[in-house]
Amino acid sequence: MALDPIRRCGLALLRGLALAGLGVATAVSFVVHLAFLVVGFGLGLLVLPPLAIRAGRPVTNLARRLAGTWSGVPVEVPYQPRPAPPAPDAEGHYPRDNRLYRRPWVPAALNWFDWLLGDPATYRDLAWLALNPVVGTLLGGAPAALVGVGLWYAASRAGTDWWALPAGLAAVAAGLALAPGLVLLHGRWTRLLLRPPRPEPGRLRVWYARLLVTLLRLLCLLGLSLLALPLAALGALGLLLGYGLGIVAVLPPLIENVRHLAELRRRLAGRWSGVEVPSPYLPRPELPPRRPDGRYRVGAHLYRTERWAGYHLRLRWLTRDGATWRDLVWLLLDPVVGGLMLAVPLAALGYGLFGLAVPRFWMLLGVTPEGDAAAWYAAVAGSGAAAIPVGLALAAFGVFAAPRVLRGNGRWVRLLLAPTARARLALRVRRLTETRADATAAQAAELRRIERDLHDGAQARLIAMGINLGHVEYLLDRDPAAARALLAETREASAKALAELRDLVRGIHPPVLAERGLADAIRALALDLPVRTEVGIELPGRAEPPIESAVYFAVSELLTNVVKHAQAERAAVELRYVDGRLRVVVRDDGRGGVDPARGSGVRGIERRLGTFDGVVEVSSPPGGPTVVTLEVPCALSSPRTSTS
């Protein structure tokens, strides 16, 4: 029994050695991560960072398992679930970010990219990989180092110093005694960084995370700006071949490839800089119908085949769009203007930290090399000691300027890549044409529904009542008892017909909506649901009746889907009026997985609200929760009487 503590200490000593070896392995992994991040974001090779992150997760997962099995400190895996593979729409295309792809691998790669770089656990893994080579190696290797030093000292100095043997044995005993505690401390250290993030992190942690994300975004945008250099060279060559030598076949693929990069920058400006830049391109024209002589007319040209007519039409559409030439101007200027703008905070922060770290490193080694950062600071400020304040000032300037430069870059993108007045007018006409067609189709469908309900419900009952009244007239003198029974049946039929007519009227425009407004109508709708539903409404007035009706039926359909399909226990409806827009948010804690492309009823809501320039946003990952946001621009009238 006395050997059990010694065995436990010896086992802890071996585990500490293994954890120290893991610390050395994480140092190599962190260097690889750093190289992939710098090369990937710095040179625009955006496929490299996700590969490094995905390859590094087995190392952190191994650390979590060892913390649970060796230290008795369980660490849950914090990663977000992997996105589902993209699903095709009715036409066989794969939609993502308002674009359609013919093959699934492009949206799948973009989803994979967002999954890895959008997971907060990724950045906690990077922090652990950076610190564990020091902290983890020290905690795991300290007991073994004590045991090794004690044995070496006792063996080498035993013949000369009488205290060498007791001191060496004491060091060995200290190493064995500290091993279990340090292994436990290593597990707690691992859990500190690799556990799932807390719901409410501290302010310092939030600031650090935002700063790290901002710097990574600046690096990514800088890489995209540098990527514009070879594209600008190809663009100049394409223009020379197309307009100088008449080889116009190179223009359509060149322009469309430039548009891909410009569209990516517009989306990133909205997501990362908070500067929305809508797509400015004119809608693609349709091929004109064939003439009586069998030819196709495009401008002043006639073509015998549909292929060449379509090619000419595509060339005219691309080259006569003002946004095309704005894209090319942006492609030439962005590496200079945008690249320098993005490089300023990164260079200031990087060189400031370099000036602080490198001179201190040489001082620890006891050498004074020529040409290091301290010499540069000395040339500017007259003293190498200026490295500390100047380095701190540069690093602080980089931290202060990073978010402002990110917003400024978004404004720079909007300056050149935003829609022109002509493009906005064309897009507006196209939008109105689509919404008019949707409104006409919705109105026709509603009329068909009303006609069907009247024909199958109230009309059939009224016909039956007329037949019964004819029988009553015939039986009134011959069989009064049978006549009374038919009259009772007719009275019941009239009550049912009246109830069906009332339900039909409520389906067209509920009386509570007309009398009490949208707020009370949604409250009444929530009271009738079998799912517990919380309602929060803040409206200073009432919208126009058509808008109230569209929003009411949209919310009604969403709540119906919650009851039928979501398997939710709780739901919530929030109704606000913000910045001239009526905003409705419907949440539930159901199973999620709502996809508008698969016909989940959201497309019908989009068509209903699109008549009023409304938009619908859906966030519904598998497993939930589901959040659907409706926004409709409108003006509110003076408030009317409403219940509380």
Report pLDDT digits (tens) over 146-167: 888 777 777 776 666 666 677 7
2 band by pLDDT with thresholds 50, 70 and 90: very low
pLDDT of residue 600: 54
pLDDT of 195 reads 83
> Which of 426, 432, 497 has the alpha carbon at shortest distance from 459?
497
Separation of first and last alpha carbons in the chain:
74
Whole-model pTM: value is 0.49
Write phi, then psi, for 100 (nearest 5 degrees). Answer: -115, 135
Distances (CA, A) of 624 to 77, 324, 430, 536: 19, 41, 35, 21
CB 274 within 8 A of CB 410: yes
Mean pLDDT across the chain, nearest whole number?
Answer: 75
Tokens of 97: 């970010």
pLDDT band at 180 (very low <50, low <70, confident <90, very high): confident
User: Alpha carbon of 191 to those of 15, 114, 182: distances in Å?
Assistant: 17, 25, 14
Identity of the amino acid at 199: P
DSSP 273-321: SS------PPPPPPPPPPPTTS-EEETTEEESSHHHHHHHHHHHHHHT-
Residue 3 has pLDDT above 60, yes or no: no
Average pLDDT over residues 251-263: 79
Q: What is the pLDDT of residues 314-342, one digit of tens each?
A: 777 777 777 888 888 888 888 888 888 88
**Top-ranked range on mean pLDDT: pick from 29-38, 63-72, 295-304, 512-521:** 63-72
Cis check: omega of the bond before 625, within 30 degrees of 0: yes
Mean pLDDT of the region 161-184: 77
pLDDT single digits (tens) 65-117: 888 888 888 888 888 888 888 888 777 777 776 667 778 887 888 788 778 77
pLDDT of residue 597: 59
pLDDT (0 to 100) of residue 365: 46
| Model confidence band, residue 271 (pLDDT cutoffs 50, 70, 90) | confident
Percentage of residues in the chain with pLDDT exceeding 90?
Answer: 0
Task: Evaluate whether 377 touches 241 at the Cβ level (below 8 Å).
Answer: no
394, 399, 400, 405 alpha-carbon torsion, rounded to 10°? 100
At residue 367 the predicted structure's pLDDT band, cuts being 50, 70 and 90, is very low
Q: How far is CA 636 from the centre of its chain?
A: 32
Lowest mean pLDDT among 6-10, 374-378, 537-541, 548-552: 374-378
> Is the per-residue pLDDT at 289 higher than 80?
no
Q: Is the dihedral of CA 12, 15, 21, 25 positive or negative?
A: negative
Torsion on CA atoms 366, 370, 374, 378, rounded to nearest 10 = 130
374 neighbors 383 (Cβ within 8 angstroms):
no
Give 322-359 as a DSSP string.
HHHHHHHHHHHHTTTHHHHHHHHHHHHHHHHHHHHHHH
Does residue 379 carry a pLDDT above 70? Answer: no
Residue 349 CB partners (closer than 8 Å, separation 6+): 215, 394, 395, 397, 398, 399, 402
Torsion of CA 231, 237, 243, 246, to 10 degrees: -120
Assess whether pLDDT exceeds 80 at residue 293.
no
Task: Tell whether the model's pLDDT for residue 437 goes beyond 70.
Answer: no
CATH topology of domain 516-633: Heat Shock Protein 90 (3.30.565)
Cα–Cα dist 120/126, whole Å? 10
| Contact (CB, 8 A) for 167 and 153 | yes
Q: What are the φ and ψ backbone dihedral angles of 574, each rounded to 5 degrees?
A: -120, 130
**pLDDT value at residue 642:** 43
Which of 48-62, 146-160, 280-294, 372-386 has the lowest average pLDDT?
372-386
d(CA 327, CA 48) in angstroms, rounded, equals 27
Q: Are 328 and 235 in contact (CB under 8 A)?
A: yes
pLDDT for 494 beyond 60: yes
pLDDT of res. 643: 43
Per-residue pLDDT at 429: 66
Closest CA to 117 of 201, 31, 220: 220
- pLDDT exceeds cutoff 50 at 207: yes
